[in-house]
Amino acid sequence: MNFKTRTIVYRHKLSELEQEISEYILAHRAEVVELKMTALAQTFFTVPNTISRLCTKVGYTGFLDLKKALREELLPRKRADNSQKDILLRNFAMIDAEKEREIAVVFEKADKVNVFAVGSTAWAARIIVDTFNSIDYKFIFYEYEHEVRQKIRTAKNEAFFFISLSGDKEPFLSLAKEARESGQSVLSLTMLSENPLSKLSNHSLFCYSPERRLNGSNIQDKTPLLVIAESLFEAYKKRRPDFSE
Protein backbone atom coordinates (compact mmCIF):
# COMPACT_ATOMS: atom_id res chain seq x y z
CA MET A 1 0.00 0.00 0.00
CA ASN A 2 1.19 3.51 -0.74
CA PHE A 3 1.09 6.25 1.89
CA LYS A 4 -2.26 7.67 0.77
CA THR A 5 -3.89 4.23 0.95
CA ARG A 6 -2.48 3.68 4.42
CA THR A 7 -3.87 7.00 5.68
CA ILE A 8 -7.34 5.93 4.52
CA VAL A 9 -7.21 2.36 5.85
CA TYR A 10 -5.70 3.35 9.20
CA ARG A 11 -7.46 6.70 9.60
CA HIS A 12 -9.34 5.41 12.64
CA LYS A 13 -6.03 5.14 14.50
CA LEU A 14 -4.88 8.70 13.84
CA SER A 15 -5.42 11.72 16.05
CA GLU A 16 -6.43 15.06 14.53
CA LEU A 17 -2.82 16.22 14.61
CA GLU A 18 -1.59 13.00 13.01
CA GLN A 19 -4.18 13.38 10.25
CA GLU A 20 -3.00 16.94 9.68
CA ILE A 21 0.62 15.77 9.46
CA SER A 22 -0.30 12.96 7.06
CA GLU A 23 -2.08 15.45 4.77
CA TYR A 24 1.03 17.63 4.79
CA ILE A 25 3.24 14.65 3.91
CA LEU A 26 0.94 13.74 1.00
CA ALA A 27 1.08 17.28 -0.35
CA HIS A 28 4.86 17.66 0.10
CA ARG A 29 6.30 14.20 -0.47
CA ALA A 30 9.34 15.44 -2.40
CA GLU A 31 10.25 17.83 0.41
CA VAL A 32 9.53 15.36 3.23
CA VAL A 33 11.96 12.75 1.89
CA GLU A 34 14.74 15.28 2.45
CA LEU A 35 13.66 16.34 5.93
CA LYS A 36 14.86 15.15 9.29
CA MET A 37 12.18 13.98 11.68
CA THR A 38 12.93 16.85 14.05
CA ALA A 39 12.38 19.40 11.27
CA LEU A 40 9.02 17.90 10.33
CA ALA A 41 7.98 17.85 13.98
CA GLN A 42 8.92 21.52 14.40
CA THR A 43 6.66 22.41 11.47
CA PHE A 44 3.73 21.30 13.60
CA PHE A 45 5.11 22.52 16.94
CA THR A 46 5.26 18.98 18.23
CA VAL A 47 7.92 16.44 19.22
CA PRO A 48 9.63 13.77 17.07
CA ASN A 49 7.79 11.00 18.93
CA THR A 50 4.56 12.24 17.33
CA ILE A 51 6.04 11.57 13.89
CA SER A 52 7.30 8.17 14.99
CA ARG A 53 3.85 7.17 16.28
CA LEU A 54 2.24 8.29 13.03
CA CYS A 55 4.66 6.14 11.03
CA THR A 56 4.03 3.01 13.08
CA LYS A 57 0.26 3.54 13.13
CA VAL A 58 0.13 3.41 9.33
CA GLY A 59 2.38 0.37 9.10
CA TYR A 60 5.95 1.64 8.72
CA THR A 61 8.80 0.66 11.02
CA GLY A 62 9.75 4.30 11.49
CA PHE A 63 10.37 7.63 9.78
CA LEU A 64 13.26 6.31 7.69
CA ASP A 65 11.05 3.51 6.41
CA LEU A 66 8.38 6.07 5.53
CA LYS A 67 10.87 8.23 3.62
CA LYS A 68 12.15 5.21 1.71
CA ALA A 69 8.59 4.33 0.68
CA LEU A 70 7.87 7.93 -0.35
CA ARG A 71 10.99 7.98 -2.55
CA GLU A 72 9.74 4.88 -4.34
CA GLU A 73 6.34 6.48 -4.83
CA LEU A 74 7.98 9.47 -6.48
CA LEU A 75 9.61 7.30 -9.14
CA PRO A 76 7.91 7.06 -12.56
CA ARG A 77 5.40 4.25 -12.54
CA LYS A 78 4.05 1.99 -15.19
CA ARG A 79 0.32 1.83 -15.61
CA ALA A 80 -1.30 0.04 -12.67
CA ASP A 81 -1.86 -3.67 -13.10
CA ASN A 82 -5.58 -4.27 -12.63
CA SER A 83 -5.52 -7.97 -13.36
CA GLN A 84 -7.77 -10.01 -11.09
CA LYS A 85 -4.72 -11.45 -9.32
CA ASP A 86 -3.31 -7.99 -8.60
CA ILE A 87 -6.68 -6.73 -7.38
CA LEU A 88 -7.09 -9.66 -5.00
CA LEU A 89 -3.56 -9.28 -3.64
CA ARG A 90 -4.19 -5.61 -2.95
CA ASN A 91 -7.28 -6.54 -0.97
CA PHE A 92 -5.42 -9.10 1.12
CA ALA A 93 -2.84 -6.40 1.90
CA MET A 94 -5.62 -4.12 3.19
CA ILE A 95 -6.86 -6.54 5.84
CA ASP A 96 -6.63 -4.88 9.26
CA ALA A 97 -6.74 -7.46 12.07
CA GLU A 98 -7.10 -4.86 14.81
CA LYS A 99 -10.08 -3.22 13.15
CA GLU A 100 -11.66 -6.61 12.50
CA ARG A 101 -11.41 -7.47 16.19
CA GLU A 102 -13.14 -4.21 17.10
CA ILE A 103 -15.98 -4.87 14.67
CA ALA A 104 -16.29 -8.48 15.85
CA VAL A 105 -16.90 -7.14 19.36
CA VAL A 106 -19.64 -4.84 18.01
CA PHE A 107 -21.28 -7.79 16.25
CA GLU A 108 -21.04 -9.93 19.37
CA LYS A 109 -22.65 -7.33 21.63
CA ALA A 110 -25.42 -6.33 19.22
CA ASP A 111 -28.81 -8.03 19.50
CA LYS A 112 -29.19 -7.79 15.71
CA VAL A 113 -26.91 -6.85 12.83
CA ASN A 114 -28.83 -5.24 9.98
CA VAL A 115 -27.06 -5.39 6.62
CA PHE A 116 -28.10 -3.09 3.76
CA ALA A 117 -26.99 -3.15 0.12
CA VAL A 118 -28.64 -2.50 -3.22
CA GLY A 119 -28.21 -3.44 -6.87
CA SER A 120 -25.61 -5.98 -7.86
CA THR A 121 -23.78 -5.45 -4.56
CA ALA A 122 -26.78 -6.96 -2.83
CA TRP A 123 -25.85 -10.40 -4.17
CA ALA A 124 -22.50 -10.24 -2.39
CA ALA A 125 -24.19 -8.91 0.74
CA ARG A 126 -26.57 -11.88 0.82
CA ILE A 127 -23.60 -14.24 0.72
CA ILE A 128 -21.97 -12.33 3.57
CA VAL A 129 -25.13 -12.50 5.69
CA ASP A 130 -25.56 -16.23 5.04
CA THR A 131 -21.94 -16.84 6.09
CA PHE A 132 -22.27 -14.97 9.38
CA ASN A 133 -25.59 -16.64 10.15
CA SER A 134 -23.82 -20.00 10.12
CA ILE A 135 -22.49 -18.93 13.53
CA ASP A 136 -25.12 -16.66 14.97
CA TYR A 137 -28.50 -16.23 13.35
CA LYS A 138 -28.91 -12.51 14.05
CA PHE A 139 -27.70 -11.05 10.77
CA ILE A 140 -30.56 -9.70 8.65
CA PHE A 141 -30.30 -8.55 5.05
CA TYR A 142 -32.29 -5.58 3.73
CA GLU A 143 -32.53 -4.33 0.16
CA TYR A 144 -35.24 -1.69 0.62
CA GLU A 145 -34.68 1.73 2.13
CA HIS A 146 -38.03 2.02 3.91
CA GLU A 147 -37.44 -1.26 5.76
CA VAL A 148 -34.05 -0.10 7.05
CA ARG A 149 -35.39 3.32 8.05
CA GLN A 150 -38.23 1.73 9.99
CA LYS A 151 -35.79 -0.65 11.66
CA ILE A 152 -33.53 2.25 12.71
CA ARG A 153 -36.46 4.01 14.36
CA THR A 154 -37.41 0.96 16.45
CA ALA A 155 -33.97 -0.57 17.08
CA LYS A 156 -32.34 -0.93 20.47
CA ASN A 157 -28.79 -2.20 20.84
CA GLU A 158 -28.48 -3.09 17.16
CA ALA A 159 -25.80 -2.57 14.53
CA PHE A 160 -26.27 -1.36 10.96
CA PHE A 161 -23.78 -2.56 8.36
CA PHE A 162 -23.91 -0.64 5.06
CA ILE A 163 -22.22 -2.19 2.03
CA SER A 164 -21.69 0.21 -0.87
CA LEU A 165 -18.72 0.28 -3.23
CA SER A 166 -19.06 4.00 -3.99
CA GLY A 167 -19.87 5.07 -0.44
CA ASP A 168 -21.24 8.38 -1.65
CA LYS A 169 -24.85 7.78 -2.67
CA GLU A 170 -28.28 7.94 -1.10
CA PRO A 171 -30.03 6.40 0.68
CA PHE A 172 -26.90 5.08 2.41
CA LEU A 173 -25.80 8.48 3.71
CA SER A 174 -29.12 9.55 5.22
CA LEU A 175 -29.66 6.09 6.72
CA ALA A 176 -26.20 6.00 8.26
CA LYS A 177 -26.66 9.49 9.68
CA GLU A 178 -30.03 8.59 11.17
CA ALA A 179 -28.65 5.39 12.69
CA ARG A 180 -25.74 7.30 14.27
CA GLU A 181 -28.09 9.94 15.66
CA SER A 182 -30.31 7.23 17.15
CA GLY A 183 -27.33 5.78 19.02
CA GLN A 184 -26.91 2.61 16.97
CA SER A 185 -23.53 1.26 15.85
CA VAL A 186 -22.84 2.08 12.19
CA LEU A 187 -20.39 0.06 10.11
CA SER A 188 -19.52 0.25 6.44
CA LEU A 189 -17.69 -1.63 3.72
CA THR A 190 -16.82 0.56 0.74
CA MET A 191 -14.32 1.01 -2.05
CA LEU A 192 -11.01 2.47 -0.86
CA SER A 193 -11.59 6.23 -0.88
CA GLU A 194 -12.26 9.20 1.36
CA ASN A 195 -15.99 8.68 0.93
CA PRO A 196 -18.74 10.20 3.12
CA LEU A 197 -20.26 6.87 4.16
CA SER A 198 -16.99 5.70 5.73
CA LYS A 199 -16.73 9.00 7.59
CA LEU A 200 -20.26 8.61 8.97
CA SER A 201 -19.45 5.13 10.29
CA ASN A 202 -18.23 4.17 13.74
CA HIS A 203 -16.11 1.50 12.03
CA SER A 204 -15.25 1.42 8.33
CA LEU A 205 -13.76 -1.34 6.21
CA PHE A 206 -12.36 -0.87 2.71
CA CYS A 207 -11.80 -3.00 -0.36
CA TYR A 208 -10.15 -2.29 -3.69
CA SER A 209 -12.27 -2.85 -6.78
CA PRO A 210 -11.69 -0.42 -9.67
CA GLU A 211 -14.64 0.55 -11.84
CA ARG A 212 -15.24 -1.64 -14.90
CA ARG A 213 -17.76 -1.20 -17.67
CA LEU A 214 -18.46 -3.38 -20.67
CA ASN A 215 -20.98 -2.53 -23.38
CA GLY A 216 -22.53 0.07 -21.09
CA SER A 217 -22.92 -2.34 -18.18
CA ASN A 218 -21.30 -1.98 -14.77
CA ILE A 219 -19.24 -5.14 -14.19
CA GLN A 220 -17.27 -3.93 -11.17
CA ASP A 221 -15.83 -7.00 -9.45
CA LYS A 222 -17.63 -7.88 -6.19
CA THR A 223 -15.05 -10.50 -5.15
CA PRO A 224 -13.05 -7.91 -3.11
CA LEU A 225 -16.12 -7.36 -0.91
CA LEU A 226 -16.14 -11.08 -0.14
CA VAL A 227 -12.40 -11.16 0.57
CA ILE A 228 -12.70 -8.46 3.25
CA ALA A 229 -15.93 -9.90 4.64
CA GLU A 230 -14.46 -13.41 4.86
CA SER A 231 -11.52 -12.12 6.89
CA LEU A 232 -13.97 -10.30 9.18
CA PHE A 233 -15.95 -13.53 9.53
CA GLU A 234 -12.83 -15.36 10.72
CA ALA A 235 -12.27 -12.65 13.34
CA TYR A 236 -15.87 -13.01 14.51
CA LYS A 237 -15.62 -16.79 14.61
CA LYS A 238 -12.59 -16.55 16.93
CA ARG A 239 -14.79 -14.80 19.48
CA ARG A 240 -17.10 -17.80 19.55
CA PRO A 241 -15.16 -20.62 21.25
CA ASP A 242 -18.35 -22.67 21.35
CA PHE A 243 -18.44 -22.74 17.56
CA SER A 244 -17.07 -25.83 15.87
CA GLU A 245 -16.93 -26.58 12.18
Same-domain pairing of 148 and 174: yes
Total length of the chain: 245
Residue bearing the bigger pLDDT, 168 or 76: 168
Domain ends where: 44, 74, 104?
74
Same-domain pairing of 132 and 218: yes
Which one, of 57, 23, 16, 61, lies nearest residue 40 by Cα?
A: 23
Domain span including residue 30: 3-74
In a domain, 155, yes or no: yes
Give the CATH number for residue 40: 1.10.10.10
Give the CATH number for residue 190: 3.40.50.10490
Same-domain pairing of 145 and 171: yes
In a domain, 243, yes or no: no
Residue bearing the bigger pLDDT, 198 or 220: 198
Are the C-beta atoms of residues 196 and 177 closer than 8 Å to each other?
no
What percentage of the chain has pLDDT greater than the value 70?
Answer: 96
Residue bearing the bigger pLDDT, 243 or 170: 170
pLDDT tens for 113-159 read 999 999 999 999 999 999 999 998 999 999 999 999 999 999 999 99
What's the pLDDT at 245?
A: 54
Same-domain pairing of 170 and 90: yes
Number of domains in the chain: 2
Same-domain pairing of 100 and 42: no
The whole-angstrom separation of Cα 204 and Cα 71 is 29
pTM, entire model: 0.84
What's the pLDDT at 70?
A: 93
Which one, of 104, 100, 120, lies nearest residue 227 by Cα?
A: 100
Maximal C-alpha separation, the chain: 56
In a domain, 244, yes or no: no
Domain ends where: 30, 46, 74?
74
Same-domain pairing of 42 and 137: no
Same-domain pairing of 100 and 182: yes
Domain ends where: 16, 45, 74?
74
In a domain, 80, yes or no: no
Same-domain pairing of 65 and 94: no
Cis previous bond, 224, omega within 30: no
Q: What is the mean pLDDT of residues 71-79?
A: 78
In a domain, 245, yes or no: no
Collapse the DSSP code of 2 into the 3-class scheme (helix H, G, I; strand E, B; otherwise coil) and give the result.
coil
Task: Report whether pLDDT(218) > 80.
Answer: no
Same-domain pairing of 52 and 152: no
Same-domain pairing of 47 and 140: no
Same-domain pairing of 57 and 146: no
In a domain, 96, yes or no: yes
Q: What is the mean pLDDT of residues 9-33?
A: 93
In a domain, 181, yes or no: yes
Same-domain pairing of 50 and 101: no
Mean pLDDT of the chain: 92
In a domain, 157, yes or no: yes
